[in-house]
Amino acid sequence: MGHGGNVIDELTTDHREADEIFGRIEALPPGDARRKELADEAVIELVRHSVAEEMHLYPAVRQYLPDGDSIADKEIEDHSSAERTMKQLESLEADDPDFDRLIGTLMREIRLHVEDEENNLFPRLRAAADAEELDRLGEKVRQAKQTAPTRPHPASPSKPPANKLLAPGTGLVDRARDALTGRGRSS
């Protein structure tokens, strides 16, 4: 499954990629340094994905679904919880006693969130919005991921317009830090 297509296809591809990284983490023994490299890779992708959803998917959910406000608020809270976990994980190495606990928590949080989106939110949005709008949102999500932050920022705004204004600048700083440190370039 490649990237492209409507917003649901794009985000579902992201979900599969994150789960594939989680599977690679789970296949390695505790304490293996590659677990940290893969955790960093997962965090980069998850943060970019979350920011894009908050910028474009959840406003559409609010617009198209009668209970969209409560759904979007719940999804954003899921993101906030996962982002707090990612922030704690950020400073730990794979041999830290808290690393395994936190990566396990993150994987559970993300897998539950994905299951809820794919089984509930996505089918409802597909039924409520026309194909052209879903395609337009897919393109907006892809563009947002290109400039989105790559590190967790739990205190950052998660709703428009503030998130749309701040995310590109924060993303630029994060990508510069990643380039300097080599973060996200697994061997």
Q: Report which secondary-structure segment, H or E, holds 115.
A: helix 97-116
In a domain, 148, yes or no: yes
CA distance 161 to 47: 18
**Helices 7-27 + 33-52 axis angle, to 10:** 170
Q: Is residue 2 part of a domain?
A: no
187 in any annotated domain = no
| Full-model pTM | 0.86
Could you tell me if residue 25 is inside a domain? Answer: yes
Q: What is the CATH number of the domain that holds 160?
A: 1.20.120
| AA letter at 134 | L
Asked, for residue 151, whether it belongs to a domain, the answer is yes
* Residue ranges making up the domain that contains 71: 7-180
- Residue 96 covered by a domain: yes
pLDDT for position 89: 94
* Tokens found for residue 57: 């998917």
> How much is the CA Rg of the chain, to the nearest whole Å?
16
Span 6-53, pLDDT tens digits: 999 999 999 999 999 999 999 999 999 999 999 999 999 999 999 999
Residue 185 lies in a domain: no
Amino acid, single-letter form, for residue 28: L
Question: Residue 12's closest CA among 134, 104, 106, 183?
Answer: 134
Per-residue pLDDT at 147: 85
DSSP one-letter string for 35-74:
HHHHHHHHHHHHHHHHHHIIIIIHHHHHHHSTTHHHHHHH
Residues 6 or more apart in contact with residue 49 via CB below 8 angstroms: 11, 14, 18, 145
Do the domain assignments include residue 154?
yes
Q: What is the pLDDT of residues 114-155, one digit of tens each?
A: 999 999 999 999 999 999 999 999 999 999 999 887 777 766
- Structural domain tally of the chain? 1
